[in-house]
Structure 1
């Protein structure tokens, strides 16, 4: 089986496979690799290991060498150049009066390729801008439009939980998220309460969803009637983590009780909520 080493180029970024080229690496080491846009500096996420051939979609590009102090110094210099390039790009965008918000500029490690990330409400005709940018920077320039989630990933920030946003730390891929996931977790369907810094639904709704479904088990959904130690009642709210439900008793009054004390009504029960 082919041997690969896992490399990541930015925190929270995607992990790519490279050919270790008979070299040994430890997790956390910085290396220089060959990419479609030239050389790049990356961090080893996982040492070399064997993988099934079918897991590789294209021929592996090689790891060229372990990063040297000179390579790390060059990377720091490129970061300074990227900040200057972004400022100049902003001037050119203003000159062309384009509805673009520049997010980040990124040079390839050899300095021969500059990628500028931007966001915009719709499609932008930036052909004239791209031509002038190429003449200004004397390198190959690529303008890449990204969505709201990718903007948050590049810029980072603090989430509602008080921790750095997941997409900029450990979440390398964006999974589909729906309002149904918030409903399954008994969260208020208020956009300001279930949206992240990007304005989209919180990513954590996805990776906590399965746990909430498991906690809910066979319990009927909110709004359904159940048997309780105090008679028939309708479920109003459920705190799945605490295992506590708030119910409206058919005899009158509202009570809190353990989820384990709630039993589904039989299908032929006259007190089922078919009557509202």
Structure 2
């Protein structure tokens, strides 16, 4: 489809070519955006983007397959952005045009696309073979993905390693085994998960493979801020790192916790002294437990709003002790500590891990004694019958 001036129509997306690196072209229907821009954004294998100079002024549109300059040979990629938005994208990413930029050769021909598909079909087999070679050489590294160049002359091996690896011998053997020019690129665990993909514990596609393009550090302080138990098995994602989604609600929890009363302040009323127990950050509810000489199982847990807790703190600072922590306008929510402990035990993951011995009924000592006495009496009766038989003989 073309415009009236003969230039190709730009659309925000192309069916079948959507990916996490796709950019929505919100200038596609603006007449001023139809002015040609010298640079074009090209995407490779949904994980890598580069900017190329359209020095031949080819009429390119989003979704076109093009042959671009590579070293050596040429590569095949998909046009992901054209027009005025390319300039804004380069400014956003901080990309400055080099003195000798790479250029676009031509629109991909059927022979180029056939060679491109043949090269892609060899990527998985090459990855398995490269792993075997690295294992035979005793290298402490993991090759997570392989990307062939469009013309099949070069292959990029993405690997993960905790320490510095001397892979000079590996490069020689890879080049000899697969007859390609080898390039090694080190990536992190999050980047590997983004390239491989998968389904997260939420039942949806991994964020790193679906839409995330940059990864920010995640610390355990984020989990503590959201009152999440520090359980590595639950907090770690498929990359064995802390889940990126822990950062999503960090600002919301930080803002909500800033309005909560301090946790180290005890509340005093005529019914006793109460210490902080837990807080429902988003709901604005705070639970306090009674202290003193009361047995632990008989202590009370009072849940009040954060506004009421701040009001009681101000009254205590003024030397006033209210009758109760619960105000007249709030509904009293008082529960014994034993009930709270029962609720916590119900949420335990190991509540179903009960031994079979515990479910079997226990035999009483009296029952065992009764059976022993019955056994003894039966033995005496058998002896008496034997004596009567002998007397008859």
Fold-level match, TM-score > 0.5? yes
1:143-166 per-position Cα deviation (integer Å, ceiling 9, x unaligned)? 333332222122212222221211
Shift of 1:114: 0.9
Unpaired runs of 5+ residues, structure 2, are 1-36, 292-298, 320-393
CA contact (8 A) 1:103 1:151 kept: yes
Shift of 1:209: 1.6
Counterpart position of 2:141: 100
Shift of 1:107: 0.8
Q: Which consecutive aligned stretches of 4+ in structure 1 deviate over 6 angstroms post-superposition? A: 226-232
Q: Structure 1 residues 6, 227: closer, same or farther in 2, change over 3 A?
A: farther
TM-score, normalization by structure 2: 0.56
Considering only CA atoms, is the larger Rg found in Structure 1 or Structure 2? 2
Counterpart position of 1:83: 124
CA contact (8 A) 1:33 1:42 kept: no
Counterpart position of 2:77: 41
Q: Structure 1 residues 42, 270: closer, same or farther in 2, change over 3 A?
A: farther
**CA–CA distance in structure 2, aligned partners of residues 187 and 111 of structure 1:** 49
**CA–CA distance in structure 1, aligned partners of residues 310 and 160 of structure 2:** 51
Task: State which of 287, 290, 306 in structure 2 corresponds to 1:247.
Answer: 287
Counterpart position of 1:185: 226
Moved more, 224-233 or 28-37: 224-233
1:87-144 per-position Cα deviation (integer Å, ceiling 9, x unaligned)? 3323322432333322111111122211112223433222112112222333210233
Larger helix proportion of the pair: 2
Unpaired runs of 5+ residues, structure 1, are 272-276
Larger strand proportion of the pair: 1
- 1:157 matched to 2:175? The reply is no
RMSD: 3.8
Shift of 1:235: 4.3
- 1:214 matched to 2:255? The reply is yes
1:184-221 per-position Cα deviation (integer Å, ceiling 9, x unaligned)? 22211222222211111111122332232233342246
Q: Structure 1 residues 109, 262: closer, same or farther in 2, change over 3 A?
A: farther
Counterpart position of 1:200: 241
Shift of 1:172: 0.6
TM-score, normalization by structure 1: 0.76
Shift of 1:34: 3.9
**CA–CA distance in structure 2, aligned partners of residues 32 and 47 of structure 1:** 19
Q: How does 1:44-193 map to 2 (within 5 A)?
A: 44=80, 48-49=84-85, 50-51=87-88, 55-59=94-98, 61-65=102-106, 67=108, 71-193=112-234
Instruction: Find the residue that maps to 2:190 and give its secondary structure.
Output: helix
Q: Structure 1 residues 269, 8: closer, same or farther in 2, change over 3 A?
A: farther
